[in-house]
Structure 1
Amino acid sequence: MEDKKDSLKIALVQSLLHWENPAVNRQMFSDKFEQITEQVDLIVLPEMFSTGFTMSPSNIRKEEGSITVRWMQEMASIKNCAIVGSIVFEEDSSYYNRLFFVKPEGNFESYDKRHTFTLAGENEKYSAGTERLIVEYKGFSICPLICYDLRFPVWSRNTQNFDMLLYAANWPGKRIAAWDALL
């Protein structure tokens, strides 16, 4: 276990996304990462950062998931920090809204969004996860969740003594009041 720091320096990176265009989005985020001039411990990317919140996962080539994870590993190494964000990921003929927590050494852990957004039909396109993830990083226990999971406080309850609850989200600005109230 790593020695616990007093705090984590976190960079939140958000942007308008290029719809269903992983290569262009990865390059855009690479360019944004170059603007992070101070050393940070963790970079947080939005939900489905490589494609936008698409309800057409079959439009995304299966290889894009692995390509994006390798890109995250490369960026985590270059920036010497962890990177977290969710992407469209296909596995065993099912699609997942899968969050990856990638450490600077390249190892990673993943979490599949538990509560898919039924109003957008996410539940019809993506399989829901069943397990929470607790990541140990720099002495902190971090529970990463994805966007709509925020609506379900029982899922977020701290029954595992984590230090931080982290949400990767793609929450629309017009509903920001609900986001703020739920946080």
Structure 2
Amino acid sequence: MSKSLNTALLQVDLKWEDPQANRSLFSKEIKALSDEIDLIILPEMFTTGFSMNAEKLAERNDGLSFNWMREMAALKNAAVTGSLIITENGNYYNRLFFVYPDGSYKTYDKRHTFTLAKEDKTYTAGKERLIVDYKGWRICPLICYDLRFPVWARNTKDYDLLIYVANWPNKRVAAWDALLKARAIENMSYCIGINRIGTDGDGYEYSGHSAAYDCLGENLTGENRESPFVEEISLDKDHLEKTRKQLKFLQDRDEFTLK
């Protein structure tokens, strides 16, 4: 068990539908990280950008990009997470992988497919939340549009860290900022959101605003969040536990089940 979790936030200009170029870009950034990193967080569809061209771009669970994640996890002795376009049993999924340093992994399929972009017409929605146990931390990883649905993220499992990997466009970035902070406060949890920057092949612009918030909604990241950046942030379990014990807000949460 570790009282600190050293996280690396990687915000880059993704190359449209070019997995090899994106893997090379991230390889360079990851290799430059400190040896103290425990968790490396990449954006949604980090090898392609937010593409509906699944027939061309989809990989199998054991494809090149997944194996690259395993290589990076082994190289830095750290967990790596981010989502990929995956094909399985005739369906396509926007699938997040949480890869442990030893190469084992867990997956989460995006629950809320983005109907405005017709993601629901291409990708099959997931049905189950994922809670990851890692170094004494309980982590709930989610994907982009899931951010708009607080019930799905509600902290009924006493997780310590909520993660959103995203391709969230600039025109709605004010909502991204507000909702990330709200998810941290209402769930008395650390909350990290990783977005991309640049312009994708469909002409949508992205301004980043990747951020980490503590359980009181304090922003732990730097001021300039609209350019490429790699930031290493240490999360403090003692701070989290002390705040929860003092304020006890989670004890008053509503009881419910998700269908």
The equivalent of 1:55 in structure 2 is 52
Distance change in 2, residues 1:111/1:13 (3 Å): same
Counterparts of 2:161 and 2:178 in 1: how far apart (Å)? Answer: 18
Structure 1 runs (4+) greater than 6 angstroms displaced: none
* 1:115–1:148 contact (8 Å) kept in structure 2: yes
Name the residue aligned to 2:95.
98
The one-character-per-residue Cα deviations of 1:108-130 (angstroms, maximum 9, x if unpaired) are: 00000000111011010000000
Which of these residues, 17, 20, 35, is aligned with residue 20 of structure 1? 17
What amino acid is the match of 1:95? Answer: Y
Conserved? CA contact 1:65–1:88, under 8 Å: no
In the TM superposition, residue 61 of structure 1 has moved relative to its aligned partner by: 4.9
Counterpart pick for 2:76 among 50, 67, 79? 79
**Aligned residue in 1 for 2:31:** 34
Distance 2:161 2:172 in 1: 24
Distance 2:111 2:96 in 1: 11
In the TM superposition, residue 174 of structure 1 has moved relative to its aligned partner by 2.8
Paired residue total: 180
The aligned residue for residue 135 of structure 1 is 132
Give, in angstroms, the shift of residue 173 of structure 1: 2.5
Return 46-55 or 167-176, whichever deviates more. Answer: 167-176
Pick the structure with greater CA Rg: 2
Is residue 121 of structure 1 aligned with residue 84 of structure 2? no
State, as a whole percentage, how many aligned pairs show the same letter: 56
Query: Residues 130 and 39 (structure 1 numbering): CA distance in 2 closer, same or farther, change over 3 Å?
Result: same
- 8 Å Cα contact 1:65/1:89 also seen in 2: no
Q: Which amino acid aligns with 1:25?
A: N
**Match of 1:55, SS?**
coil
- Alpha carbons 2:6, 2:39 under 8 Å: kept: yes
Assess, with a 3 A threshold, how the Cα gap between structure 1 residues 130 and 143 changes in structure 2: closer, same or farther: same
TM-score, normalization: structure 1? 0.94
Unaligned runs of 5+ in 2: 181-259
Alpha-carbon distance, 1:39 to partner: 1.8
Displacement after TM superposition at 1:34 (Å): 2.0
Cα distance in structure 2, aligned partners of 1:64 and 1:22: 15
Q: Which runs of 5+ in 1 are unaligned?
A: none
Residue 178 (structure 1) aligned to one of 167, 175, 194: 175
* Inter-partner Cα distance in structure 1 for 2:10 and 2:165: 10
Residues 30, 75 of structure 1: 8 Å contact kept:
yes
Structure 1 residue 9, shift from structure 2 partner: 0.8
Partner of 1:11, secondary structure, is strand
Q: 1:20·1:59 contact (CA, 8 Å) conserved in 2?
A: no
SS state at 2:4 partner = coil
- The answer as to 2:85 corresponding to 1:88 is yes
Aligned-residue RMSD, C-alpha: 1.3
CA contact (8 A) 1:49 1:86 kept: yes
Deviations 1:68-127 (A, max 9, x none): 111000100001100000010000010000000001000000000000111011010000
